[in-house]
Chain A
Amino acid sequence: TQLLEQSPQFLSIQEGENLTVYCNSSSVFSSLQWYRQEPGEGPVLLVTVVTGGEVKKLKRLTFQFGDARKDSSLHITAAQPGDTGLYLCAGAWPGNQGGKLIFGQGTELSVKP
């Protein structure tokens, strides 16, 4: 059974601070996605990483896929109140049928001005 563990579960920081969210699994994933979800809305895709060791940047957000494709991290530089939300990682694995995504339990981020 594929499982994704995210840490930390909750994070409360001041505006301007940096933070890192981790997503770990014992399984090898073919790809891993990061989503952001705001209250009352569905998750919105931020990035997909596919290649082991891949690094992608989206403005102040940096995403990395582990070399063994079992883990990933999201780093936010100089966090802003607008970054507040639930961050979810989701993995797909080789031979998956039916488009099933396995989600982590999420990291609830609160950035205070």
Chain B
Amino acid sequence: ETGVTQSPTHLIKTRGQQVTLRCSSQSGHNTVSWYQQALGQGPQFIFQYYREEENGRGNFPPRFSGLQFPNYSSELNVNALELDDSALYLCASSRGQGSYNEQFFGPGTRLTVL
């Protein structure tokens, strides 16, 4: 069983640029959640996708957007990057929506905004 994978591993961007992060969910999982983890902090929920639709969203501005594809992989897009967007971005997949379903996390993408 293949686990959750994310790409790229590391990324450096400058303020104002746009970035796309990718996530492949674990086999058999139809739900993907994205989290932002700033240095020294716990992860913060960005949004969740279930069956290709956004299923819930945290306190993040609209410049954070996402997609889920028919194979349940997902993308996180961030427009107009700000310095505070520098963080580890984690993707987690689960068998269904709802927090009672165990979420399996990928290794994350480390984004640095200069």
Contacts and interface: CB of A to CB of B under 8 A. Distances in A.
Contacts, number: 77
Interface residues of B, number: 32
Nearest to A89: B42
A85 to B, nearest CB: 13
A98 B92 CA distance: 13
Given A99-B97, A100-B99, A101-B103, A43 B44 contact: no
Contacts of A41: 107-108
B31 A42 contact: no
B98 to A, nearest CB: 5
A103 B106 CA distance: 16
B101 interface: yes
A31 B42 contact: no
Contacts of B16: none
Interface string A98-109: 111111111000
A107 B55 CA distance: 30
Interface in B8-51: 31, 33, 35, 40-45, 47-48, 50
Most buried by A among B33, B45, B55: B45
Interface residues of A, number: 25
A103 B41 CA distance: 9
A97 B56 contact: yes
Contacts of B98: 96, 99
Interface of A: 4, 6, 30-31, 40-45, 48, 88, 90, 92, 96-106
22 contacts: A40-B108, A41-B108, A42-B106, A42-B107, A43-B90, A43-B105, A45-B104, A88-B42, A92-B99, A96-B56, A98-B47, A98-B56, A99-B31, A99-B33, A99-B48, A99-B50, A99-B99, A100-B56, A100-B99, A103-B35, A106-B40, A106-B41
Closest 8 CB pairs of A and B: A98-B56, A42-B105, A92-B99, A103-B42, A98-B55, A98-B48, A100-B45, A99-B99
